Amino acid sequence: MSASEIYIQTTETDPDVIARGVVRDAHERLRSGLTELAATQAIGGTDQQLSAELVDFCRHELRQYLAAADRDLYAPAAADPETRLLVDALRLGAAALNAQIDDLDARAGSGAARTGALIAALDLQLQIEEWVLLPALAGLPSVDPSLLAADLRAYLAGERVEEPTVIDVRTIARGGRHPRVFARYAGLAPGHAFILVNSHDPKPLRREFEAIHAGAFTWDYLQTGPEEWRVRIGRVAVDG
């Protein structure tokens, strides 16, 4: 273990503590943003048609969070039998939230009632993540806490969170590129893959994969320059 990897458990240098803080910050950002917009909506008195700002927040901010949480928190827990059912329930909750978002700008019915139902459902989802899922993740030996919450950090920093199948490291600060890639790999199911996009041949990253995940990953070049490299990185169907 290098000096940079040494930490004191349960202190601010503990990766579990850091990840929990990132998740809490993301939760607070969602709660405060949605509550503020809902309060503005109530003051405006437009009960039948929700404000464009509130609908936009849910369609972009909230949906971006749900996508990042699925990759950062749900995917690592889905691979373990002890937490698989919990993840199934959380994914059902996320799907229900997305369905509620789809209905937000419908003119029929009470806008206040729809917003209130969404806030209540989101609050339950976030409480389960914080008080049930995070402690469970901390107890799983297969989960590296230093790789948790990579996409949620990007979400909090205002960066664009990549779609599940593509990660373009050119848009990520240099110090965060490899952790984001390894976090994405950690969330892959066996037999699944994502595409890495870079401005040069990512040979150093491949050497890291060979040192850490020898025999457990695939590496296929899809494009080899001159200005853009694309590599499909996958988890083999049966880990060695």
Q: What is the pLDDT of residues 94-145, one digit of tens each?
A: 989 988 888 886 655 567 788 889 999 999 999 999 999 999 988 888 777 7
pTM attached to this predicted model: 0.69
The count of structural domains within the chain is 2
pLDDT greater than 70 at residue 47 = no
Whether 71 and 183 map to the same domain: the answer is no
CATH number at 213 reads 3.30.110.40
Q: Give percent of the chain above pLDDT 70.
A: 85
Q: Each residue of 63-102: pLDDT tens digit?
A: 889 988 988 888 788 778 889 899 889 989 998 998 888 8
Which of 147, 181, 215 lies at the terminal end of a domain, its last residue?
147
Residue 224, both tokens: 């080899």
Q: Cα 228 to chain center, whole Å? A: 26
Closest CA to 17 of 136, 151, 134: 134
In this structure, the answer to whether residues 179 and 133 fall within a common structural domain is no
Spatial CB neighbours of 210, under 8 Å, sequence gap ≥ 6 = none
Residue 140 token pair: 């799983």
Domain residues for 123? 10-147
Residues linked to residue 195 through DSSP beta bridges, in sequence order: 166, 232
What pLDDT band is residue 57 in, cutting at 50, 70 and 90? very high
Q: Based on the domain organization, do 143 and 178 belong to the same domain?
A: no
Least confident piece of the model among 3-7, 91-95, 189-193 = 3-7
DSSP 8-state class, residue 107: S
**Spatial distance between the Cα atoms of 28 and 89, rounded to a whole number of angstroms:** 22
Same domain assignment for residues 112 and 196: no
Residue of higher predicted confidence among 17 and 42: 17
The answer to whether 190 and 236 are in contact (CB under 8 A) is: yes
Last residue of a domain, one of 147, 178, 211: 147
Q: Are residues 40 and 91 in the same domain?
A: yes
Does residue 48 sit in helix, strand or coil?
A: coil
Question: Using an 8 Å Cβ cutoff, are 209 and 99 in contact?
Answer: no
What gap in Å lies between CA 188 and CA 209, rounded to an integer?
14
Tell me the β-bridge partners of 168: 197
Q: How far is CA 46 from the centre of its chain?
A: 33
> Do residues 128 and 26 share a domain?
yes
Does 53 lie in the same domain as 30? yes
